[in-house]
Amino acid sequence: MILGSVSSIALFNFLEEYLHEDHGDYSRHCVLMQPSRPDPTIELTLMQTKYSSCVFYLEGNPLDPQDLKRCQIENAKAVIIFSDKLSFDAHKEDTHTILQAMVIKNQASQLNQESSSEDGAGQEKSSSQPKTTQVCMQLLKPESITHYELSLSKEEIKNDQIICIESLKLSLLAKSCLCPGLVALITNLIKSSKEPPDELTELLEKNESSEKNWRWLFDYWSGKEYELYRIEIPGTFANQQFNNIAKQVYKETGFVLFALEIVVGDNVNGEILLNPGEQRLPKPSNQNGNFLKYTYFGYIIAPDKDEAENIFT
């Protein structure tokens, strides 16, 4: 579900990444809700063949419970709220974004309870495992993150993702002073790219007879094919050191396993450890009569999702 101040450029960039072939051959779709009819640029984008069957546009108000019910907000895997980065009043823009998130969570919770009450079998399950809608949103000011976290309970926001544009921008600029080229590296890792164009391959083949060396450009473009992926590490690797697992992965595939996430019990997310070195993956244990299980996830740099998920198969 896509809401907020969605420009034609932001929509195009999002759809290009969301529906990119590197993320696997899955049937994905999304719903875009805006308070008015789409402008000609967005309408032309949605009319493209690759978007016409998986992107749906609804005219409605995200603060109206009836419009949220009409788009089946309770079934959304995630809700993404864009902000107007060019807004003259950042505080007002963030306030409106936070208000949308609060209304969405409240309405989705009510609709889930209504559907559970209609299904007697599902009522007991929903009471023990309440479903909360994941919200991913952009905020302009760092202090707005605190305002949002204080507006809802920790249980309601534990799976949310908040990106503060100002903090991210300043942090990358500061770190790029210490490490030139960091911005290009991060951008290439989080953005999917296609294979090097045929023209570049032909230039590389003619490199011997050319005065220019195109190898650097070919290597750079080939590196752009790699992105970050989160994959599950089988339980058979329990009690093994992380660095040994990373060595094995690199030796067999050439991919870089650089971080570990340990999820305890039935939690959705866990603590992320960057290059934990010789730390061992914890084994399932029985503590005070309670069986404690772990699920392991690795963060890896690989060309596409299918290749990343086939590493441990």
Query: The domain spanning residue 29 has which CATH number?
Result: 3.40.50.720
Q: What is the pLDDT of residue 122?
A: 47
Question: Strand pairing partners for 286?
Answer: 291
**Residue 105: is it exposed, middle or buried by C-beta count within 10 angstroms (0-12/13-18/19+)?**
buried
Assess contact for 195 and 225: CB atoms under 8 A.
yes
Q: Is the pLDDT of residue 5 over 70?
A: yes
Does residue 289 share a domain with residue 218?
Answer: no
Question: Strand pairing partners for 103?
Answer: none
Q: What is the pLDDT of residue 208?
A: 55
Does residue 201 share a domain with residue 249?
Answer: no
Instruction: Indicate the SS3 state at residue 87.
Output: coil
Does the residue 77 lie in any domain?
A: yes
Least confident of 68-82, 92-106, 143-157, 200-214: 200-214
- What average pLDDT does range 293-298 have in this prediction? 92
- Dihedral (Cα; 296, 301, 303, 306), 10-degree rounding: 0
Assess contact for 300 and 258: CB atoms under 8 A.
yes
Question: Strand pairing partners for 57?
Answer: 32
Does residue 58 share a domain with residue 115?
Answer: yes
Beta strand extents in 166-264 (DSSP E only) = 227-233, 256-264
Q: Is the pLDDT of residue 127 over 60?
A: no
Residue at token pair 């309870």 = 113
Assess contact for 214 and 207: CB atoms under 8 A.
yes
Does residue 250 share a domain with residue 137?
Answer: no
Element (H, E) at 166: helix 165-178
Q: Is the pLDDT of residue 126 over 50?
A: no
Does residue 244 share a domain with residue 220?
Answer: no
Q: Is the pLDDT of residue 31 over 90?
A: yes
Question: Taking the alpha carbons of 46, 190, 226, 221 in that order, is the dihedral positive or negative?
Answer: positive
Does residue 133 share a domain with residue 7?
Answer: yes
Question: Taking the alpha carbons of 123, 124, 127, 129 in that order, is the dihedral positive or negative?
Answer: negative
Q: Is the pLDDT of residue 199 over 60?
A: yes
- Cβ-based neighbour number of residue 204 at 10 Å: 17
CA angle 85, 16, 224 (to 5 degrees): 95
Percent of the chain with pLDDT over 70: 90
Domain span including residue 264: 226-309
96 secondary structure, DSSP code:
H
How many whole angstroms separate alpha carbon 305 and alpha carbon 313? Answer: 13
Does the residue 104 lie in any domain?
A: yes
Instruction: Indicate the SS3 state at residue 245.
Output: helix
Tokens describing residue 212: 């220019």
Element (H, E) at 287: strand 285-287
| Residue among 5, 178, 175 nearest 84 (CA) | 5
Does the residue 235 lie in any domain?
A: yes
- What average pLDDT does range 285-313 have in this prediction? 86
How many whole angstroms separate alpha carbon 238 and alpha carbon 241? Answer: 9
Rounded CA Rg of the chain: 23
Does residue 123 share a domain with residue 31?
Answer: yes
Does the residue 156 lie in any domain?
A: yes
Q: Is the pLDDT of residue 200 over 90?
A: no
Average pLDDT for the chain: 86
Q: What is the pLDDT of residue 197?
A: 72
Domain count, the chain: 3
How many whole angstroms separate alpha carbon 52 and alpha carbon 123? Answer: 37
Does residue 98 share a domain with residue 45?
Answer: yes
